[in-house]
Amino acid sequence: MGHWYDETFEDHTRLGLRVSETLFSGQSAYQHVEVIDTVGFGRVLVIDNVFMTSEYDEFLYHEMLVHPALVTAPSVERVLVIGGGDGGTVREVLRHRDVKECVMIEIDELVVDVSKRYLPGIGTSWDDPRLDLRFIDGIDYVKNSDDEKYDVILLDGTDPVGPGAVLFDDSFYRACKRMLAEDGVMALQSESPLLMMDLFLDVQRKLRPLFSEVHPYLGPVPLYGTGTWSWTWCSDTGEPLRPVQERQEAIVEGSKAYNAELHQAMFALPNYVKRALKL
Ligand code: SPD
């Protein structure tokens, strides 16, 4: 029944999903966008042959990108999301009642259009009046915008290939910091330390000179090669392990994975990562 769709990692490892139907396949000005229906992971968004998110495990990625930052930042009134075209990240941001405005910058309108149409269960907050969705270049925005600074910035890009590669440049991270409030928190997806240790370390190396607190944390995302994924929490003032309890309790209730114990546990790193981080 159906065929197999494989994501290949540097020509040495493949993750394959059995496809029951290809729902969409098209090319934007930036990248190739597909939505496949799979037997094991439900509908999956694929960009340039890389699995981006699935109905089955998207909550593991989006909850972990968003909530550690949103429960520890001193204020969360203004939140900036760069990337995240499937809508899962802004969905989690907008569950926070204290968020007054969430600006989402996505370069590729096709990703949002296709996600709205084929992945409506992931992006459930497109109509929230607090969301300000702009189809512009994220790099250009953080480098040149005169907008007010943000309390939290979340980077939800692809892997560092194609149009998403620039989202891993140190000049981009520096420009993000320019848009962050002095006591703000930035969090980003930082690849797999198991499958892509070099990339993971590269991100850490670029962030450390910019922020006094740079803390990677780990969690499972089965759709991404090896299943071990990382995000990184950065700030100049705060502490990742000191959540605002009231804000955290309010969000734990409706979360599929995120809770107070997991928050603490995710920042506990295995030895191979701790040793590698002594750069
Ligand atoms: N290897 C794929 C990494 C993708 C990270 N971003 C996914 C976008 C989900 N909103």
Please tell me the predicted confidence (pLDDT) of residue 279.
Answer: 67
Cα of 25 vs centre of ligand 1, distance in Å, is 18
Mean pLDDT (the chain, rounded): 96
**Pick from 130, 59, 132: which is nearest to 97 by CA?**
130
Q: Please state, in angstroms and rounded to a whole number, the distance separating the CA atoms of residues 243 and 240.
A: 7
81 within 8 A of 141, measured Cβ to Cβ: no
User: How much is the average pLDDT of 38-42?
Assistant: 98
44 within 8 A of 25, measured Cβ to Cβ: no
Please tell me the predicted confidence (pLDDT) of residue 87.
Answer: 98
228 within 8 A of 236, measured Cβ to Cβ: no
pLDDT per position as a tens digit, 26-37:
999 999 999 999
Q: Which of 159, 167, 200, 229 to mutate to test the pocket of ligand 1 (most atoms within 8 A of CB)?
A: 159
- Tokens 């989006």: give the residue: 62
209 — pLDDT class (breaks 50, 70, 90): very high
pLDDT over 90 percentage in the chain: 94
Please tell me the predicted confidence (pLDDT) of residue 4.
Answer: 98
pLDDT at 160 over 90: no
Please tell me the predicted confidence (pLDDT) of residue 268.
Answer: 98
Please tell me the predicted confidence (pLDDT) of residue 162.
Answer: 73
88 within 8 A of 61, measured Cβ to Cβ: yes
Please name the residues in contact with 191: beta carbons below 8 A apart, sequence gap of 6 or more.
159, 160, 199, 200, 203, 229, 230
pLDDT at 161 over 90: no
Catalytic annotation present for 156: yes
- Tokens 């590729």: give the residue: 108
pLDDT over 70 percentage in the chain: 99
| Segments in the chain forming alpha helices (H) | 58-70, 88-93, 109-118, 138-144, 170-178, 197-207, 245-252, 260-266, 271-276
**Pick from 114, 119, 116, 111: which is nearest to 55 by CA?**
119
Q: Which of 52, 107, 232 to mutate to test the pocket of ligand 1 (most atoms within 8 A of CB)?
A: 52
pLDDT at 1 over 70: no
pLDDT per position as a tens digit, 106-154:
999 999 999 999 999 999 999 999 999 999 999 999 999 999 999 999 9
231 in contact with ligand 1, CB cutoff 6 A: no
User: How much is the average pLDDT of 52-59?
Assistant: 98
Q: Which residue is catalytic, options 57, 86, 151, 156?
A: 156
81 — pLDDT class (breaks 50, 70, 90): very high
* Phi, psi (deg, nearest 5) at residue 161: -135, 155
89 in contact with ligand 1, CB cutoff 6 A: yes
Q: Please state, in angstroms and rounded to a whole number, the distance separating the CA atoms of residues 187 and 261.
A: 19
110 strand-pairing partners:
none
pLDDT per position as a tens digit, 10-24:
888 999 999 999 999
Cα of 190 vs centre of ligand 1, distance in Å, is 10
pLDDT per position as a tens digit, 217-248:
999 999 998 999 999 999 999 899 999 999 99
Nearest CA to ligand 1 atom 2: 52
88 in contact with ligand 1, CB cutoff 6 A: yes
